[in-house]
Amino acid sequence: MKILVIHGPNLQLLGQREPQVYGKVTIKEINTSLKKEAKKRCVKLDIIQSNHEGEIVDLIGKASANKYKAILINPAAYTHTSVAIRDAIAGCGVPTIEVHLSNIFSREEFRRTSLIAPVAVGIISGFSKLSYLMGLEFAIEMIIAEHKKHAKRG
């Protein structure tokens, strides 16, 4: 079972960038927590952070060919601006969970719209690094349920 985790732009600055909004958690701490949980559940994670929209689009576009069963993405600022990432998710055929550290719906008006949410399975927002862990847990349970459904059929 493989899951792709994508951290969007500026998330490499976590822990130092606007701690009043994002807290003091670092991307390294998030990744360590995700890897620890994945190991317990016998899941392989590939974790990527990119500031480049095209690179993120390419990763999503290759997700199915790379046998990912789910994508966990924090598109960061691209949440509100990237039709390209939205379209890649819509077209890739891999269930995607959108996560955010902060509650985007309680922030500035322009951050309250997610172009990604309508093509994602769901969105988890506002729980700091727990948003990622809840997203991972949901992705794993979703994959297991899908596997069981297919096993019953054939």
Rounded-to-integer distance, Cα 35 and Cα 44, Å? 8
For residue 94, the SS3 value is: coil
| Catalytic choice (7, 68, 78, 100) | 100
Q: Tell me, yes or no, if 150 is annotated catalytic.
A: no
Classify residue 81 by burial, with Cβ atoms within 10 Å: 0-12, 13-18, 19+: middle
Does residue 52 carry a catalytic annotation? no
CA dihedral 83, 91, 71, 125 (to 10 degrees): 40
Catalytically annotated residue among 7, 22, 68, 132 = 22
Helices 83-92 & 53-61 angle (0-180, nearest 10): 10
Active site residues: 22, 100
